[in-house]
Amino acid sequence: SPPPSLFFPPFFPSSLSFSPSPTNMSSIGDLASPRGSSKKDYNLNVNLLAINNFKRKDENSSLTSLFCECICDGNIVGRCENAEIPKGTSVNVNLSHMFSCVVGERSKLLITVNSNHQGSQLLLGQGMIQISELEVGKQEVKPLALRKKSKKEVSGGEVLVMFTMSRKMSVSGPSSVTKPGSGALLDGAGEEGGG
């Protein structure tokens, strides 16, 4: 067999340098930590419960499965699929799955739901997605603290939920998280909480 040296040069040219540059690393850190936000990271757990009252346009559709992805700051951190979609025009789809990721205080969490039906058909109908809990660090954020943002109407299988964690999401005390209407989480639409 040919010596390894015949294979390595094309893939690892000596002209390329993989040495990390301190300036680049620092600029990446600045991008990841917007001005005014804490550098502290949080472990975020999202329990995606279900899509309720899902209305399908064609009850005889060959739709066989739904899959959802949890995307945090542009990175896919979790994916689950349900391959048992009952027939009918209005059904409940169980997508129970726990996603975990590390986020900053102003990270954006997106949850999308799509179908594998013909690979590209996204006109699934409408439904409600239910988030049963959000947990930051060791603090659980009750759905009530999210106000109406814990459920969102779905149409067409596009982006369902976007939460932007505000500076109020801190480990200083549970009151900043569990107090109703405190605006601990924003939905990315410019809505601000009290204070």
pLDDT tens digits for range 15-50: 444 444 333 333 333 334 344 444 455 555 555 555
Mean pLDDT for the chain overall: 49
Give ∠ CA 45-46-49 in degrees, rounded to 5.
145
E strand or H helix that includes residue 24: helix 22-32
The DSSP secondary structure of 82-132, one letter per residue, reads E----SSSEEEEEEEEEEEEEE-TT-EEEEEEEE-TTTT-----EEEEEEE
Give the integer Cα–Cα distance in Å for 141 and 97: 17
Band of the pLDDT at 153, cuts 50, 70, 90?
A: very low
Residue whose structure tokens are 């899959």: 67
Residue 40 pLDDT: 55
| Domains, the chain, with CATH or none | 44-186 (2.60.40)
pTM here is: 0.40
List 50's β-bridge partners, or say none.
94, 130
Whether the predicted pLDDT of 55 surpasses 50:
yes
Residue whose structure tokens are 């976007």: 162
Q: What is the CA radius of gyration of the chain?
A: 21
Whether the predicted pLDDT of 160 surpasses 50:
no
Band of the pLDDT at 185, cuts 50, 70, 90?
A: very low
pLDDT digits (tens, 9 = 90+) for 90-123: 666 666 666 666 666 555 666 666 655 543 333 3
Q: Return the biggest CA–CA distance within the chain.
A: 71
E strand or H helix that includes residue 54: strand 42-55
Residue 73 pLDDT: 72
Residue 163 pLDDT: 42
Burial class (CB in 10 A: 0-12, 13-18, 19+), 111: buried
pLDDT digits (tens, 9 = 90+) for 58-101: 555 555 566 667 777 777 777 777 666 666 666 666 666 666 66
For the chain, give percent helix, strand, coil, nearest 5. 15, 40, 45
For residue 152, the Cα-to-chain-centroid distance in whole angstroms is 14
